[in-house]
Amino acid sequence: MSAIRTAMALAALMCSASVVATLGGPVAVTERRAPGILLDTAVPRQFGDWQIDPSQATQVINPQTQQLLDKLYGQVLTRIYVNPRGYRIMLSLAYGSDQRGALQAHKPEVCYVAQGFSLLHSESSDIGTSYGPILGRRMSTQLGSRFEPVTYWFTLGDQTVRSRFERRMAEVRIGLTGQIPDGLLFRVSSIDLEPKRAYAEHDRFVNDLLAAVTPADRIRLSGLASTP
């Protein structure tokens, strides 16, 4: 079956599934999988030129409330890393074993603004890695005198999703296997007045991290299912 026909078939299935749900008809029983990744053990505390910042001089501001985090995710990992040049990267990972409908992660653009940040710029961006491009987004934010460029992406199962359509297609594919879709929000940011410099450091950090984890965890973190 061609890629176009496959997409059309999945789209039709999505529509029919929505109608059944709306009419209150029977729904398929899905199986909840064991956590696809254990964040605290999967992410090294030191890798490449990066290590946990012992001074914790920079504060990671989480744009999502604790109540929302508890609802959406089963695991949350927040760390600050620093390299020998003193550049700090704030890493925030959130993993949820059920990313269907109302339980799916919220976009950082919305959450940052809700917490008082100004959204200066936001755009889709492919993050280049040695294992293939990651379909992510970049955004620049400001809170008072704090300028925080952000790089992030969502994974659903073993792939990245950027649009609502991509998410629904992935949900259908996973649902056809009788599984509940799990997902991860991967976010890195830094305090930097120059977004281009910040994004270059983000990419360096991401590449170093992906090179330091196991192949299975690399797929979960990056959404690159074809990772060697």
Structure tokens at 156: 């659903």
Give the pLDDT confidence of 171-227 residue by residue, as tens digits: 666 556 666 667 889 999 999 999 999 999 999 999 999 999 999 999 989 988 754
Residue 13, judged by CB atoms within 10 A of its CB (0-12, 13-18, 19+), counts as middle
Considering the entire predicted model, what is its pTM?
0.76
56: amino acid identity, one letter: Q
Question: Tens of pLDDT along 39-95?
Answer: 999 999 999 999 999 886 556 556 555 555 555 667 889 999 999 999 999 999 988
Residue with the bigger pLDDT between 158 and 112: it is 112
Over residues 120-160, the pLDDT tens digits come to: 999 999 999 999 999 999 999 999 999 999 999 998 777 77
> 């890629």: which residue's tokens?
3
- Give the chain's end-to-end CA distance (angstroms, integer): 26
Please classify residue 83 by burial: count the beta carbons closer than 10 Å to its beta carbon, then call 0-12 exposed, 13-18 middle and 19+ buried.
middle
